[in-house]
Amino acid sequence: MVDVKNTVSKEEWDTRVDLAAFYRTIPYFGWDDLIFTHISARVPGTEDHFLINPYGFLFDEITASNLVKVDIKGKILSETSNFVNPAGFTIHSAIHEARSDAHCIVHLHSNDGVAVASLKDGLLPLAQTGMLVRNQIAYHDYEGVALLEDEKKRLVADLGEKNLMILRNHGTLAAGKNVADAFTYIYFLERACTYQVRAMAGKLELNAPSTEAIETTKQQGEASQGMAGALLWPAVRRKMEKLDPSFMN
């Protein structure tokens, strides 16, 4: 077995541990889709090297050592007996290549995220959480399973400079400058989707907030960007360590 920790830089190992912790949060919050979907992170000090999950592993099996290092085309660069799903890296590679600030990208097929992605109006300004992130969300129309290189340019164009995306009829996505930011973005988006699905399930009249309240909440969300991640992620990672510290191996 390769001693990964002693063959990579301290910076890469720290990113590996953070990313593995992020993977463990996905089943904890009920956002996983068995072995499908991905979280990727840029290797510190590189422009085109990334870490991603080995294909065929459940997210609660991901560790710092079994993450696979790939280039922008999905070619494996690290010594490993595992492999990756090149098709699964299509969306990630497109955004990583186009956005130098997107160091960590998470894409999910959660129950509530896909439900909202299947609604014509997408995410509605119902709960406070939704109002906080709604203006940060881009939309990309469904074109089939994301396997085609040609779709990359449309995906990137639709995302623009935003950090959240709802892939219609497909799922959710968040991009951040680090694991903390990407986790915080996707957490707020997924919570907003859950609140919306539950509110609409009651088939009762929805209480729409005022335009003024929506605008105020949007501005408050913009003003606090980054702060939540700095506080939220360390707490969540501590939780993951208490539950099962094996991701740090």
29-44 pLDDT, tens digit per residue, is 999 999 999 999 999 9
pLDDT at 76 over 90: no
pLDDT at 52 over 90: yes
Q: Is the pTM of this model over 0.75?
A: yes
pLDDT score at 189:
96
CB of 141 closer than 8 Å to CB of 120: no
pLDDT score at 18:
97
109-141 pLDDT, tens digit per residue, is 999 999 999 999 999 999 999 998 988 999 999
pLDDT score at 90:
87
Class of domain 4-248: alpha beta
More confident residue, 246 or 75: 246
pLDDT score at 146:
67
CA torsion 246-182-38-60 (nearest 10°) is 20
What does the alpha-carbon distance between residue 187 and residue 133 come to, in Å, rounded to a whole number? Answer: 10
Cα angle 208, 211, 212 (rounded to 5 degrees) comes to: 125
What are the residue ranges spanned by the domains of the chain?
Answer: 4-248
pLDDT score at 224:
66
pLDDT score at 228:
67
pLDDT score at 243:
97
139-163 pLDDT, tens digit per residue, is 999 987 766 778 899 999 999 999 9
Percent pLDDT > 90 in the chain is 70
Burial class (CB in 10 A: 0-12, 13-18, 19+), 1: exposed
pLDDT at 168 over 90: yes
